[in-house]
């Protein structure tokens, strides 16, 4: 897996976590550490979409929800 592929995979995972916990902050920072040294990339936000109908009433139809 290349570094770019790894970043895309991490971003996909972070997006799932961000949607799961809507009170978290959508700002991330990636660092690459090799034997040659460390590179810290600037912080950035992921593109999100909060207009899904499931977000309007997330407990609707959920058995045993709070």
CA atoms within 13 A on the CB side of 61: 6
Instruction: Give, for 34, the enclosing helix (H) or strand (E).
Output: strand 31-34
Note down pLDDT in tens along the chain; length 66 residues: 999 999 999 999 999 888 888 778 889 999 999 999 999 999 999 988 887 776 777 677 677 755
Tell me the domain boundaries of the chain. Answer: 3-55
Kindly report whether the global pTM for this prediction surpasses the value 0.95. no
């Amino acid at each position: 897996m290349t570094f770019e592929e790894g970043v895309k995979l991490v971003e996909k995972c972070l997006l799932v976590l961000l949607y799961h916990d809507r009170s978290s902050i959508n700002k991330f920072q990636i660092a690459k550490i090799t034997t040659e040294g460390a590179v810290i990339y600037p912080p950035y936000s992921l593109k999100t979409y909060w207009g899904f109908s499931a977000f309007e009433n997330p407990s609707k139809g959920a058995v045993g929800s709070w």
